[in-house]
Amino acid sequence: MAVHAVIPAAGAGRRFGADLPKQYLPLAGMPIQQHTLDRLSAIPAIAHLVVPVAADDTRARELAYARPQRLRFVTGGGERMDSVLAGLDALRHGGAADSDWVLVHDVARPLIRAEDVRRLMAAVQDHPVGGLLANPVRDTMKRADAAGQVQATVERDGLWHALTPQMFRLGSLHDALLAARAAGAVVTDEASAMERLGLSPLLVSGARDNLKITFAEDLALAEALLAAQSRSGVSA
């Protein structure tokens, strides 16, 4: 099956609180974005990798990627779904078919394991919708009010943490994101867009070290997890 990847990297990372977009912060001596793209570009089953970046981004193309010839940079948008749509349009213009599969991965998840990507591909290749890497919730879950006070304990059976990559047919995902945008809905992941159309993506269990670097304290944790992966032989 034909599989492509879109890695939206146009965000500013405001929640991180740094002076530059978090994807350019150093992780073990190398920008986060470089870790992520080096790992994905090392997977032969991914035919094309498209990276939507901010219009004024002057760094993305200059990093010392392991396989720069595998990467295509395009201008992204103001929201995640706008950047993903830009990536999908670039794939279409490059000859990709609507029936091809597309992996969408967070640029701020540099610890993605190739074995998890392969597991996701294998799990969804015959699925009518597609799917995503995820982890079953282990902690007790609370629902809070606006003041931060507990309103209820939420039953955790059946709850999962959504991860990336998320994998869907190019045409179906494009239509789902356009429908969300037309409705004024800002979806935070691709599965949400598919769900809005009444579809049910498949949840595929992935490694728990597939951390998304969102806050400053996540960087130290990512350093420790990266070192642990290195000791166990996990690399780009």
Domains and CATH numbers, the chain: 3-231 (3.90.550.10)
**CB contact at 8 A, 51 and 7:** yes
Distances in whole angstroms, Cα of residue 91 to Cα of each of 42, 86, 193, 222? 19, 9, 19, 31
**CB contact at 8 A, 196 and 184:** no
pLDDT tens for the chain, residues 1 to 236:
899 999 999 976 555 555 788 999 999 999 999 999 999 999 999 999 999 999 999 999 999 999 999 999 999 999 999 999 999 999 999 999 999 999 999 999 999 999 999 999 999 999 999 999 999 999 999 999 999 999 999 998 999 999 999 999 999 999 999 999 999 998 999 999 999 999 999 999 999 999 999 998 999 999 999 999 999 888 66
**CB contact at 8 A, 43 and 49:** no
Question: Within 10 A of 139 (CB to CB), how many other CB atoms are there?
Answer: 8
Q: Alpha helices, DSSP H only, in 60-139?
A: 80-93, 114-124
pLDDT of residue 83: 97
Residue 48 neighbours by CB under 8 Å, 6+ apart: 4, 5, 70, 72, 91, 94, 96
Burial class, 111, CB count within 10 angstroms (exposed 0-12 / middle 13-18 / buried 19+): buried
**CB contact at 8 A, 32 and 130:** no
What is the distance, to the nearest Å, from the Cα of residue 202 to the centroid of all Cα atoms in its chain? Answer: 16
pLDDT of residue 1: 82
Residue 155 neighbours by CB under 8 Å, 6+ apart: 141
pTM, full prediction: 0.94
Does residue 41 sit in helix, strand or coil? helix
pLDDT of residue 18: 59
